[in-house]
Amino acid sequence: MKRYIFVLSLCAALTLALTACSKQESTTESSTKSAAASKPADPLQAVASQGKGFTVGAMMSAQTVYVMFDPQCPHCGHLWEASKPLHKKVKFVWVPVAIINGKSGPQGAALLSAANPTELMSTHEQSILANQGGIAASASVSPEIEAAIKQNTQLFTSMQIDSVPYILAKNARTGQVVTNNGAMTTAALADFVGVDQP
């Protein structure tokens, strides 16, 4: 019986590892307590009002999906690709955080300040998925964009999320706020946010 439970636990851990990228930093007990004390009561409203991201998809859509992502996360790249067929129906706001490595912040800043974030994000994610490291990004970032990435990352941490991509939305069919850690297929994402598949 113990072996069966161990195998189930191992399978669950591997499934999570295959669909999301986890934070690389360790959390101390005191920082966990302080994050819990400041955890937003309404995460969707917190990300909508405090997160700084770039918008793609149906700009006039009443259906908004927020995705907190790290530019170095390949699972975020898979979610980006899965979201593309829904761009005609749904407005996506991609909120970059910097939790994986030193490239995360500069690449997130480049995406936030891009004239055409959809095009740059597609180029970036193709590079990530091809194991080429993503777009080249300048280490010198404007103070406003650097502050936005830090604020996004602090918001992510305060919500006690431990992996990306993290998706928040209000399901269009049920009206319920829904959240998900990890990548999804296009069909699963459409069902998750309550829209018909393309």
Q: Is residue 61 part of a domain?
A: yes
For the stretch 60-78, pLDDT in tens is: 998 999 999 999 999 999 9
Q: Tell me the mean pLDDT in the region 102-114.
A: 95
Please give the residue range of the domain that contains residue 136.
Answer: 2-193
- Name the residue among 65, 101, 61 with its Cα closest to residue 80: 65
Mean pLDDT computed over 150-154: 97
Q: Tell me, yes or no, whether 17 lies in a domain.
A: yes
pLDDT band at residue 13 using 50, 70 and 90 as cut-offs: very low
Question: Do the beta carbons of residue 63 and residue 193 sit within 8 Å?
Answer: yes
- Tell me which of 6-20, 77-91, 92-106, 170-184 is least confident: 6-20
The answer to whether residue 36 scores a pLDDT higher than 50 is: no
User: Does residue 21 belong to any structural domain of this protein?
Assistant: yes
Q: Is residue 198 part of a domain?
A: no
Question: Mean per-residue pLDDT for 145-152?
Answer: 96
State the pLDDT at residue 35.
Answer: 42
Chain-wide mean pLDDT for the chain?
A: 85
Domain count, the chain: 1
Residue 84: inside a domain: yes
pLDDT of the residue at 12: 39
Going by pLDDT thresholds of 50, 70 and 90, the confidence category of residue 137 is: confident
The Cα 154–Cα 157 span in angstroms is 5
Q: How confident is the model at residue 19 (pLDDT cuts 50, 70, 90)?
A: low
Q: What is the spatial distance between Cα 92 and Cα 83, in angstroms, rounded to a whole number?
A: 8
Q: Supply the CATH number for residue 55's domain.
A: 3.40.30.10
Is the pLDDT score of 139 beyond 90? no
Residue 45 belongs to a domain: yes
Q: For the residues of 168-191, what is the DSSP string, one character each?
A: EEE-TTT--EEEEES---HHHHHH
In a domain, 126, yes or no: yes
